[in-house]
Structure 1
């Protein structure tokens, strides 16, 4: 039940398209644009990493991609079809093909179900196992796939008898039980210890390579995106918008948007000399994130941006445009395009004369 065809694994067609998607939440006192005009694609067998600070809209985007939340505007298409125009059977097939792995392994599993019951329930419900014996055999195969061996040691256990890493592997095994084409992993390693996190990422990588499963991988850590999505693409979100989007090596090694640079500067650096060269606070003018209920005019990042220009960045909202082999939403970076190897200049000292 785990095998995909060679065509599935190597196809480059758009498995999922997120087109001009927005999500607005309304309260008694405010309108909150959690996601605003996002465009993303995930190809078959590809990893797309979606990164940004907490509250930037990553999880809301992921929930819409999984069909768990309906967008206020825009379309979510799977295999070329708008998922919200599908009939009941078609939507059920979509929900089978796209599986979600939650952040918290302590809350995502039913505490009164054994591992065997957790894994066999979807198999029986969707007719992938004809009887109890066949369901048990497939459950053991799933546990081997996520490196929980020997499977017999885990099938009878309840979630509270497992470590955090083991629980998350069971959650991944459950997602694999329906032979998905796309897995949406929402901060699925953030609550794990570092050593367990690496093992988890290696396991997910083997699923990507062996089964041709595509991933929409949500994380706040660009180091994780670099490790897991190096051969894929990375989209950086800020306050509901994508501000930089392109091949992961380009985004990580030569970041163009000042927010992407700030995220990279926040990654711990073991080399003291390299750490000393990083600007404190990522070089940002402010650590305070604006409220969605009262977004700044123009570019929403300009109050924190070290290269923002008065009369431009605080007036006009930048579009996401091609820059240096990726797309960037920044007036200053777009103006200075033509030097793809150059890094963004640090802010000039007070009193210095700008030559730009």
Structure 2
């Protein structure tokens, strides 16, 4: 299964968002930086797609292109089958209403001079969702209640600096819901929160996903978070601008087929029992991440990869190919030898107790 193929449960639905052969190149004094390199992804209505990778993997750049905040150097970003950069101005505005972005830092993304009521009512009034300030205030109360800020009336007159990090992030989510989006792009939206707050915010997002049927492109560096939020969705793993593994989240977590994915799982602190059982026995050859300005030849993971073979891994760039049903990886060795190269064991597609 490639990153553009559909899982059986979504096979009858057209993709909501598609990134087809998308690349992003930044031109710097040090030379061209290929932050995203020819990736293919799709998100179906009501589906969760987790995009996972270390800092510098290109996941945020990919998210910004999906949101229409950055134009790709090549490739196509399509929403409901239409290239977003071919849309007329009014249609592009409608696209931006349908796709909302929740940033990593809730304080930086909220205007510190606006009250919470002003923050939420502004888009309602600007886009004509409601006809009066009174109706906007009532809708603000409804939205704050949806994100578990109750009683909502207690928050309307507050400013962002008067709220905790978790409360500010809930306000950011409430603002994203004002225009009834079809897709929410959450960019590391819980990474700055304490663990207990993080779980409650993720639970809230999961409830909104189920109740409203909104799709999610969920960006994270943490596979444990992807497991928690996107268990019934799909996960794509990025490394230095390329997708190196893709598949249903349970298969990515329980039986990874790319050595980089295994390295990410190894880096997760215990005591998650599912992830502990998946930990590999082989260590990385190097902890140093290559520079995007001077990428290694062939597979960009080969300087760190425990499966490295001279003349194979540092030759051609590996293609993302099906390794087993529903799961694909970009690894020369695994593509040739199968999962036996990883000394993998069969694992259930259901969470273990």
TM-score (norm 1): 0.90
How far did 1:271 drift?
7.5
2:253–2:278 Cα contact (<8 Å) kept: no
Match runs of 1:71-90 below 5 Å: 71-90=72-91
How far did 1:276 drift?
11
2:47–2:216 Cα contact (<8 Å) kept: yes
Cα-Cα RMSD = 1.9
Instruction: Give the Cα separation in 1 of the matches to 2:278 and 2:12.
Output: 42
Instruction: Give the Cα separation in 1 of the matches to 2:203 and 2:341.
Output: 31
Instruction: Give the Cα separation in 1 of the matches to 2:220 and 2:141.
Output: 30
How far did 1:283 drift?
1.2
Count of residues in correspondence between the two structures: 333
Q: Do the aligned partners of residues 242 and 278 (structure 1) sit closer, same or farther apart at CA in structure 2, a change above 3 Å counting? A: closer
1:57–1:237 Cα contact (<8 Å) kept: yes
Match of 2:320 in 1: 320
Deviations 1:236-255 (A, max 9, x none): 00000000001001111000
Match of 2:333 in 1: 332
How far did 1:275 drift?
6.5
Instruction: Give the Cα separation in 1 of the matches to 2:276 and 2:244.
Output: 25
Instruction: Give the Cα separation in 2 of the matches to 1:11 and 1:176.
Output: 26
Match of 2:95 in 1: 94
Q: Do the aligned partners of residues 205 and 278 (structure 1) sit closer, same or farther apart at CA in structure 2, a change above 3 Å counting? A: closer
Q: Do the aligned partners of residues 64 and 277 (structure 1) sit closer, same or farther apart at CA in structure 2, a change above 3 Å counting? A: closer
1:20–1:75 Cα contact (<8 Å) kept: yes
Match of 1:165 in 2: 166
Q: Which runs of 5+ in 2 are unaligned?
A: 1-9, 345-353
Aligned with 1:344 (options 335, 342, 348): 342
Instruction: Give the Cα separation in 1 of the matches to 2:244 and 2:229.
Output: 21
Instruction: Give the Cα separation in 1 of the matches to 2:77 and 2:224.
Output: 28
Residue 134 of structure 1 aligns to a residue in which SS? helix
Residue 106 of structure 1 aligns to a residue in which SS? helix
Which structure: larger Rg? 1
Match runs of 1:1-356 below 5 Å: 12-270=13-271, 283-325=283-325, 326-337=327-338, 342=340, 344-345=342-343
How far did 1:91 drift?
0.3
TM-score (norm 2): 0.91
Instruction: Give the Cα separation in 1 of the matches to 2:89 and 2:246.
Output: 34
